[in-house]
Amino acid sequence: MAKKKRLKIAVIGFGAIGRTLLEVFADKKPPIDVVGVLVRPGRAKETRKAVGRKIAVVEDLKSLLKLKPDIVVEAASQQAVRDWGETILAKGIDLMVIATGAYGDPKLWKRHIKAAEESGARLRLPSGAIAGLDGLLAMRLGRLDKVKYISIKPPHAWSGTPAETEFDLPAIKTPTVIFRGKPADAGRLYPKNANLAVTVALCGAGLERTEIELVADPTLPPGTNASKLEVLGDSGEIRLERLGRAMPDNPKTGVLTALTMADELMKLVRSSDW
């Protein structure tokens, strides 16, 4: 029997998500090799110390692509998606994107889809810190009458966002809606908090027909965040609530975000769908 090929991945960014990915792979030991990590200039030395000698640490995309990964995993920012996504896909390399808020720009989305189609690469969007997207994808084959996504985080998780100027976040005592509107605006205004708003839209009713609410909730259990997904269509209804643990060093991001990315990559290995 031929030896099964190992999946080679390269990671853009080494924050909370990137570190968690490496920890999961070290623990579960799937046939996945992290061949390189791309970090901002000035971050290479500390990152090398953290990842060890077997993983290359680079500061530019050209050096990352020289490592010949099967998939590049974006775990950095919307700006990284805008700066490098099209180049990666155009070279025929699969790209997994978690900062999907960048695709609130329909022109960028179309360019990336076109680059993937022309090169044969795949643009992969993991589910992130939400459940139910499989049902939403199926329901959109029929008629969708309503898709609403609600992201709920403690007030301090919304610091550094427009909510900080519009609300006295430390003084919030009850669940408070800090944003109500369209996915593209949520992703643009809250780039570290609301990427899933765009993921839900792309998987369902689209950017113009998806309702988004962002909520500051001081009553959440410590160290957690939550979300709700409400879908109504001719095939039925979905009403899902999730309570998850936030990253210890980044309350804006849920642990499940990194775990769903790791799970998607491990599924690829099992299915050889790459």
* Per-residue pLDDT at 1 exceeds 60: no
* Residue 242 falls inside a structural domain: yes
Q: What digits encode the pLDDT tens for the residues 39-79?
A: 999 999 999 999 999 999 999 999 999 999 999 999 999 99
* Per-residue pLDDT at 4 exceeds 90: no
Q: What digits encode the pLDDT tens for the residues 87-127?
A: 999 999 999 999 999 999 999 999 999 999 999 999 999 99
Contact status, residue 190 vs residue 161, Cβ threshold 8 Å: yes
Burial of 68 (0-12, 13-18, 19+ CB in 10 A): exposed
Same domain, 89 and 152: no
Same domain, 40 and 116: yes
* Residue 197 falls inside a structural domain: yes
How confident is the model at residue 3, as a pLDDT? 64
Number of domains in the chain: 2
Q: What digits encode the pLDDT tens for the residues 150-209?
A: 999 999 999 999 999 999 999 999 999 999 999 999 999 999 999 999 999 999 999 999
Q: Which domain holds residue 233?
A: 133-253
CATH of the domain at 109: 3.40.50.720
* Per-residue pLDDT at 11 exceeds 70: yes
> 214 has which bridge partners?
151, 179
* Rounded average pLDDT over 22-40: 97
